[in-house]
Structure 1
């Protein structure tokens, strides 16, 4: 079976791999005549710097990390050393297998190709029999009239359950400090991660609540503009924009001369997690060389796992859902879109 498939259309090309159903690269042929690839591909995926022994010790999600993929459920095991109000917000017992993989089976298993026309790629994944999710399906459909790709995710539950769900688009960043700008949706509030995502790699003050991405509290005690990336100082951190008014975010790559835009259904995913991966992880396979920006629509509490996401956590207390109720046999379906356009000259 093909491990990856490529699709070409009038405005570009794209590749999807079976592992995680990850989408990347996308190459868009912009009206200016330039070709751009807005999605990120981890540097170790193909360069041979990580041995087979090291690779076998990593969760499959990291083996060929790239681009965009769905997370069913979203999150990982509950971490330690959280702020007290977060540690106390564990929810009811969630009927998941013991030690679930990070970001769910959808992120760590090889999906199966499904019959499809020449205008799309379709994949599916059947979950283990002891999982409350029975099946996930994914359609990747280039827009025949635009530099854009439409995506469709369908989730069929096996049992009634409530789970955090999310999408995981990860965008490439230029090498020049602060040469890209995040154009975020308006949100009810912004929260920083309620702990330390990577020991020694903090970017923001932990467990902070604020209003504007341009005025984020840093780990040094001052304010910083978290909308301009990449940062000069290495670090690894998360922010969550809570209660977004519109499911739309753009990344203006001034160095590359283009804007990448992600749009989604904000009723399904009312928050946006921003993953700042700024050379902050030193262990294999990261090795201090990973720079990328995750713009991740979620119905979740950061990536803290199902027990916290289904509990009375500080985000849920603001009236913003952090998990989605699913009914056995009833398909949950959501659409989203990734597009690119030229930036006006002199916009930087």
Structure 2
């Protein structure tokens, strides 16, 4: 394992180069240091025991990682979520120019014949990391996703850019009651995020987390059309902060939510992986690489699920992750929008708060 760390106030960041995961993210605000991303407890446990065949992305489960393909890897030989989430990266260089610092990395393996590079930029005074992943060359088609994970000690509120629907795949993550449990209905579909069907006939409010006790669940949010900014916001109750994840909906038209709240009884999860929410901005089918490259329920609705690779081509995906504290009286978050040099947070009572931000990054 090799950890590469870099820092530009107010952000410090560490990358686990053995798998490309963000090992740690800290954001300093006033007298506080916010730690928005999750790291599985077994990563730092030298006595952790893993079943045979446990992929590296589970053994080193941390922060955020890049999936290519997303989920089942059934076109090109490789582990679930692909080599970018499971194999080593090289640090290429770190450049400091004026008020910006950019660290660059390259995956040691190819993906569908393509070279994959990661660039993460910090900007002085900004409570965000600006990250991009690029494919150079290759052949065929590839699905892709970010895999941001947050932990909530006592749950929290969720807010999203407008979505046209939420849906679960044909089967639950855990179908064997001897191994785990899921509580959502599979398959199910709703346009109302506050009323998603449960397996027992009830309804779950997807704007609150968790939606139940001792469960492992997965669903896909479909971005509303004609939006220039897609976003997810987690307002954590115990931690009293807000975690913000931003994307371009035309490139990453779905956001998948992985709800890991003690619903897996087998190692290394062992019922103790609780309060974790994955926010997975993607161009992918949840059913895997082959399904993403073929006609599926999403493509039939006009939602792309893969990128076409080609000699001499470069495909770049960008995403922003940040955090701020919750200030007294702000109440629930209603909307986010970009301005000249700020990201504005609008609350239900009409109050607006601005964070230092670079809107040109996602537009680039």
TM-score when normalising by structure 2? 0.83
Aligned residue in 2 for 1:75: 71
The total of aligned residue pairs comes to: 319
Distance 2:210 2:223 in 1: 25
Contact 1:41–1:66 (Cα < 8 Å) also in 2: yes
Q: How does 1:56-95 map to 2 (within 5 A)?
A: 57-77=53-73
User: Which structure is higher in RCO with an 8 Å CA cutoff and minimum separation 6?
Assistant: 1
Distance 1:248 1:273 in 2: 12
Aligned mate of 1:41, from 35, 39, 42: 39
The answer to whether the aligner puts 1:124 opposite 2:106 as a matched pair is: yes
Contact 1:7–1:120 (Cα < 8 Å) also in 2: no
Distance 2:214 2:267 in 1: 16
The answer to whether the aligner puts 1:167 opposite 2:146 as a matched pair is: yes
* Cα distance change on mapping 1:56 and 1:117 into 2, 3 Å: farther
Aligned residue in 2 for 1:82: none
How far 1:232 moved relative to its partner?
A: 4.3
Distance 1:60 1:297 in 2: 21
How far 1:287 moved relative to its partner?
A: 0.7
Distance 1:15 1:323 in 2: 29
Aligned residue in 2 for 1:263: 246
Distance 1:165 1:301 in 2: 9
Q: Which runs of 5+ in 2 are unaligned?
A: 333-364
How far 1:56 moved relative to its partner?
A: 5.9
Q: How does 1:1-348 map to 2 (within 5 A)?
A: 3-31=2-30, 33-51=31-49, 54=50, 57-77=53-73, 96-98=75-77, 100-118=78-96, 119-128=101-110, 132-159=112-139, 161-174=140-153, 176=154, 179-199=155-175, 200=177, 201-244=181-224, 245=227, 246-291=229-274, 292-302=276-286, 304-346=287-329, 347=331
Q: Provide Cα deviations, 1:291-318, integer angstroms capped at 9, x if missing partner.
A: 211111111112x112111222212221
Contact 1:126–1:134 (Cα < 8 Å) also in 2: no
SS of 2:319 mapped into structure 1: strand
Distance 2:207 2:23 in 1: 24
TM-score when normalising by structure 1? 0.87
Q: Provide Cα deviations, 1:196-251, integer angstroms capped at 9, x if missing partner.
A: 21124112100111012211111111111122113441111111011343321111
Distance 1:61 1:311 in 2: 26
Distance 1:39 1:276 in 2: 15
SS of 1:62 mapped into structure 2: helix
Which ranges of 4 or more aligned residues in structure 1 deviate by more than 4 Å?
A: none
